[in-house]
Structures are given as structure tokens and as C-alpha cells.
Structure 1
Amino acid sequence: MVVLPVRFERSPRLHPMLSEVAHAVDTRVVVQGKRGPEVATVRGEAAGPDPQARYGSVLRAATADDLTHWDALHRQGEDLKWLLRARARERGLPVKIVAVEFTLDESLVTVSYSADERIELGGLISELRAHTRARVNFAAVGPREQAQMIGTLGACGRENCSSNHLQEFAPVSIRMARDQQLPLNPEKLSGPCGRLLCCLQYEHTQYLDLLADLPRKNARVCHTESGACGKVVKLNPLAGTVDVHTEGGMLTGVPAAQLTRAPEQAGGKSKRAEP
């Protein structure tokens, strides 16, 4: 037995599955997951299983009939998605239907939805009953999961990270933007999902290392070459410099190595700037 990483259609996350055959990368396979049999794509090389881990299983390589049936179920799910959206509008329900997905054996249909408040979904279940005999499961998804499933373009012009490669949603805070000296503009710091950009976490640790060598913002410092003293007003962590406002004007791009703590702050330990 080997373990194969597979990817489902609406998420970049890789799921390890036990398989008796080491299928090649990009092979479409039928897997037995938590919801039931589904079609997935092998996205990595085979590896040995971990005796302590729990896995789903690869049932077989997908046949032409499997893929034809899977495509038909996908189209049916899309039709039902738009039907449920229309019925929700008619009923005045504050809900967005994100996706409708069948298992390959049509025993289960999962309706992913987004809503800001608790709503009664009984009417929508009745609508589904008229079109399928599958067991219905409604699953609430958050803004990030919604962007992941739908797929959007980010501010960089490329496919958003959540639907392209992210394996999990790591916590992102506004402090990360402050540490990177970014303007605190919600429109520029938010992704298509309306939450803080996932990419703010990518370089955060590097910025913390760079900031450790700089004085804190608003600290009183003196320039060793000119003797001028003033207050740190801006940090440039990538360049390793700061801007200092003195009584004689502004000193810009001063290397941190040319700065010392002002006399009135002597005796304390120098710390990096507080963004």
C-alpha cells in the first residue's frame, strides 16, 4: 500500500489517500472520502503510509464512464445552485448558495452556503427533494472558504492564493501590515473574500528580523556623523534605514548603524520601532 496526495476540484488542499496502485501524477481517480465516492486528481508522488495516521482510500483509476457521469453531476449541481439562489431570493432568505456537489453514487448532495445570520433552510430542502433523491447536507462556509471554492483574481492579477495553493488558512492580523510598514487602507489590505490578505503572512518573519536592528518609531536618536538629534518618524526595514525629524529639518535614509540613542534616553535598552 502507498499514500497518494489527491486534490478535489474546489480546493487546492492535498488529501492523502491509501492506494494499492501508485497512480501517476495528474491521473484522475475515484476515492472514498468522508462524504462518499468522488473523483479527484493525483497531485504528487507515492509515499509510504504512516501507521498512526488515518486515510481515505483510492478505489480505482477513473474510467471514461466515471468521468462522463461526474461531469453530468457537476452540470446538475450548477443548475441546482442557480435554482436555489432564485428560490432564496423569492423567499427573502439572506443566504448565498456557493456550490452544490454530488457524490459519484448520488447518495449525497452537499449544499455549501454563506449567511451572516442563522436562517431556516427547510424550504430549500423541499426544493431539492423535487429534483433528487440524494440525502441533503447543508454546509456553512466562511468568506475565505467561499473565495476558495469560487475562485477569484487577487490584487496581484493572479488566481487568489486560497484557491491556488494554500493548504490551510493561517491567522492573519493587522499587526503584520504594521510591521511591514504598509498603509492601513482596508481596500488595499483586503482580499477578494473581504478579509485580510493571506499573503501578509508570507514575509512577516523576515520583517521582524529586519525591524530588530532598527530603533523604534518615535524614539529619540542622534546621528553620529552630523551630531543632529531628533525623532524617528519612518522606518525602512528593507533598506535598513530610518527617517529622522530634527530641529533643523528632515534626515532621510539614515542607516541604523549611524544612529545612537539620544542622551535623555541613555541607560535604557534600545528596541526596534513600534509600528
Structure 2
Amino acid sequence: MEEKDRRCPRGKLHCFNWLEDIPGGMTDFDIVEVQFKNTRKGFYRNSTNLDLAPGDVVAVEASPGHDIGTVTLTGKLVALQMRRVNVKPDAEIRRVFRKAKPADLDKYEEAKARENDTMIRARKIAESLHLNMKIGDVEYQGDGNKAIFYYIADERVDFRQLIKVLADTFKVRIEMKQIGARQEAGRIGGIGSCGRPLCCASWMTNFVSVGTSAARYQDISLNPQKLAGQCAKLKCCLNFEVDTYVESAKQMPGREIRLETLDNTYYHFKTDIFKKEITYSTDKQIAANLVTIDAARAFEVIEMNHRGEKPESLLREGDEKPGAKGRPIDLASQDDLTRFDKAKKKKRKKKSASATNASAPEPSQQPNQAKAEKPKEQRQPKEVQPPKSESAKTPAAQQGQDAPGERKPRPKNKPKKPQQPDDRKRDAATNDASQQPRQPKEQPSQQPKSQQQSDSRQRPNRIPKAFRENNDTKE
């Protein structure tokens, strides 16, 4: 039994027999379900009481000749399937001839191998006859005496001349069968916008017309590009949940009802079926002064309006005012998108104490150079020392050397020693100064203010320019 189930096709036409464990089985019902190519099924009577099981290949009655198919269902469940597809009790039911023999299978495979070439040639013939139709598939009968041509056409097509040409070309009986775009998409297959295989290719067998009203009930945007499937028709899944939306809409107030308050008149703006909330606006065309209330509050206001009363506001006392709820947090706005573009600051590594001692400058080095080599972490704040007089200087400072722990000033031009107020020497000094080029201006001293003040007391005043010119003229 298990080996026969493996041979049974497991496509969208497969039906699980949940009554197979019940005693009786086939003896309770003598009709079996047989499946053919292109979603074609039929019910046949097992008049000879053959031992049939799902997966058996049988030869059944056809007109003319016989056809080859696979048994998919037996027992009492076949009666329920016939009721589901609306097979009338007085309908003619053909017979099952026999289980397929090797000769029947060879002939069937030979006929099946000609289907592709027949379809291509039939398309060229239809094009030569200027017929606005597309031949999508061809199916040969099991004995090869009949061929079924499946075509798609938007308008009514007169294919009488086409049937004559096809019969003369292929020497078989011709049957034309029109299919819709949905059946064509199901035959080809594909992946839908939901990421799953198409419903028409995986499990749907009966197609129901879909209208735009299904999208309106569900408050879906009427965008043809989003509502259409691969068959260029409205998606079949629009009908899956529309009944639930219609039942939920009956528990909500009508969209044409207006709500009257002391301040304004509110019109329906939108409805949230899942939360059972309604949003009203003070303007029919645009969103103005939107107020969202639940369905129970809406029915209360409608009842008050029927009694001639008008509430002060649509909201109940204690309810939050519109706009009081905070906006949803956008997680993407919490971080800066350019945070990875900023250069990372280089962290300076702290040197060890031994490295800093080794890099300390010698006393003979210049103070500025020692200061540059000294790291920032080891710098000590400057200590403000009280001014010292000339007499309080240490012997080392008098000899021009730095005392330990004292910062050496920047080198400068030593000031000239003051001359004695002798007439001859002063005149000679002024003459020499007038003949020699003028010296550049001395830079300000870097000594402490106390030392600068003491030096300024000993430095004589400069000779006036008028006195120097008089001496030059006398000589």
C-alpha cells in the first residue's frame, strides 16, 4: 500500500483519504477518482470490481477510444468529493476498463512525446490565420486519437477554420478548451509577492472572481500594480479574509454617519478594524482636527444625537486628548548614521617612570629643548618665587650659571656698561656711535621684573639727539 502511495501524484489535486482505515473501504462505494494531465479529474465507476488503490494507472472509457489516468481516491470519500464539485446524481458516469498494460503505457508515452511539437506548430498556424489567441498547452489522449488544445483569448475567437487546419495537419480529433489567465499562471507556477509559491500552482483548483470591493473592505490602497498578481488579474488572496472584515465592519458605526458636538461636526475619516477605533475629522475632504475614539463611544454619541443632545467633546472625561500620545520611537534615529565616519582620536600611551627619567634633559641643554622633550604628564606647575635683590643672589647666579632648581632665562644681548660722565670720552663715544650703523632694537628682557627694575636703575638715560648734533658741529 505504501509503495502505491508513493506513485500517487502529490500535487495540488492530492486529497488525503482520512477514511481509509474504516472497514469496508472500496466495497462501500464503487466509484473512484482518476486524475489526468493539467488539473483534469474525473469520476469513473468500477463496474468490474477491480482491486484498485491510490496510485494505480488505469485505462478508462473516453470518446472515442480510451484514456490513461491515475487513481487518486477510493472509498466513501469519493462520494463527499462528488458532492463538493456538484456532480449531479443523474449524471452519466463512465467505466474503468482495466489496469493499464505495458502496451497501453508505451502508446501513452509516445503520444505524450508529441505534445510540445504539436503546440509549436499550432501556434504558427493560428498566427498565419491572424487569430488573436494564444495556445498554451496541448494534451493527447491516452490512445493518441484525440488532442485537447488549451488556449487563452481576451475576445471571442472564431476558430472553426483553425480546427479544420489542425485536423488535416495532425490527423487526430481536435478539441479546443479555453482557460483563463489564472489557470495559465497556475500551470506555469512561480513565487508570489509573499515569498511563497503561487496559490493557484500549489493548492487552488477552483477560481472565484475577485473585485475591487474586497480591497475597499480591507482598507487597501487601490494600486493596480500592488493588487495584481502574475496573471495580471487581482490577487486571489484578496478574498481570503474579506469575510472576516465584513463581519467586523458590522460591529462598527456606518461611515456615512456624522457626529455632532457643541463645537463642530465630525465626519468619518478612517477605521481600524483590529483595534475597533474610528478616527473622525471636522472636514470631509482633508484631515483636520482628527479625533480617535472607540466604537462604544461612537455609538454613545450617535445615541445622544438622536435624542437631540450634543456632547462637549467626542472624548470622554479623563480620556487623553488628541496628540497626547507620544510618537512611536524610531530606533534608527537614536544613533548617528555618520558615527563610523568620524576619525577615532589616538590615545597617547603613558610612558613608564623609567622612560621619563631616561629622557630628562641634562643641565647643559637649553631649557626650551628640555621643556619640549618632557611629557605633559610630568610637567609641574610653575612656582612663583618672591623677587630677590642683587645682594641676595647666590654665588652661582653671580657667575652666570644656573642655580639648581632655578630656570635659566633665554640668552640676550648684554647691555653696555654705563660710561663715565667725562667730556672727552663722551664726545668720542657719540662720534663713533654716529658713524657706525644703528644697532637693531634690543628685545625685551626675559628676566624677572625685580631684576629688570634693578637694571633700569643702574642704566643711564640716552643722550638727547640735539646734544649729539651740537657736538658733531663743534668738531
CA displacement at 1:148 relative to structure 2: 4.1
| Residue from 174, 197, 209 that aligns with 1:171 | 209
Distance in 1 between residues matched to 2:281 and 2:158, nearest whole Å? 56
Distance in 1 between residues matched to 2:305 and 2:108, nearest whole Å? 70
Distance in 2 between residues matched to 1:185 and 1:26, nearest whole Å? 45
AA aligned opposite 1:232: H
| Residue from 102, 114, 121 that aligns with 2:152 | 114
Instruction: After superposition, give the CA deviation of every residue in 1:221-267 in whole Å (9 maximum; x if it has no partner).
Output: 479xxx99732211222332222325873234x43223234479526
Preserved CA contact (<8 Å) 1:14 1:167: no
Distance in 1 between residues matched to 2:281 and 2:96, nearest whole Å? 65
Instruction: After superposition, give the CA deviation of every residue in 1:108-167 in whole Å (9 maximum; x if it has no partner).
Output: 11212222242445256425533x321122233333343344445443344433343334
| Residue from 175, 194, 215 that aligns with 1:156 | 194
Distance in 2 between residues matched to 1:6 and 1:221, nearest whole Å? 61
Q: Any gaps of 5 or more consecutive residues in structure 1?
A: 269-275
Q: Which region of structure 1 is more displaced relative to structure 2, 57-66 or 104-113?
A: 57-66
User: Does residue 245 of the first structure (1) align with residue 281 of the second (2)?
Assistant: yes
Correspondence list, 1:115-154, <5 A: 115=153, 116-123=155-162, 125-127=164-166, 129-130=168-169, 132-154=170-192
User: Does residue 266 of the first structure (1) align with residue 294 of the second (2)?
Assistant: no
Preserved CA contact (<8 Å) 1:114 1:141: yes
CA displacement at 1:177 relative to structure 2: 1.8
- Match in the other structure for 2:111: 73
Q: Which has the higher contact order (CA 8 A, sep 6+)?
A: 1
Instruction: After superposition, give the CA deviation of every residue in 1:69-107 in whole Å (9 maximum; x if it has no partner).
Output: 333322311211112223333444322011211111122
Q: How has the CA–CA distance of structure 1 residues 28 and 215 changed in structure 2, closer, same or farther, with 3 Å as cutoff?
A: farther
AA aligned opposite 2:214: M
| Residue from 9, 12, 16 that aligns with 2:37 | 9
User: Does residue 32 of the first structure (1) align with residue 61 of the second (2)?
Assistant: yes
Preserved CA contact (<8 Å) 1:232 1:245: yes
Preserved CA contact (<8 Å) 1:31 1:38: yes
Q: How has the CA–CA distance of structure 1 residues 120 and 9 changed in structure 2, closer, same or farther, with 3 Å as cutoff?
A: closer
Distance in 1 between residues matched to 2:227 and 2:151, nearest whole Å? 25
Partner-residue secondary structure (3-state), 1:249: coil
Distance in 2 between residues matched to 1:152 and 1:169, nearest whole Å? 17
Q: Per residue, is there more helix in 1 or in 2?
A: 2
**Percent identical:** 24
Preserved CA contact (<8 Å) 1:2 1:22: no
Aligned-residue CA RMSD in angstroms?
A: 3.5
Distance in 1 between residues matched to 2:264 and 2:296, nearest whole Å? 15
CA displacement at 1:216 relative to structure 2: 2.2
| Residue from 222, 226, 234 that aligns with 1:196 | 234
Preserved CA contact (<8 Å) 1:29 1:60: yes
User: Does residue 23 of the first structure (1) align with residue 52 of the second (2)?
Assistant: yes
Distance in 1 between residues matched to 2:74 and 2:194, nearest whole Å? 30
Which protein shows a greater Rg? 2
Partner-residue secondary structure (3-state), 1:139: strand
Preserved CA contact (<8 Å) 2:108 2:144: no
Partner-residue secondary structure (3-state), 2:216: helix
- Match in the other structure for 1:234: 270
Distance in 2 between residues matched to 1:57 and 1:159, nearest whole Å? 36
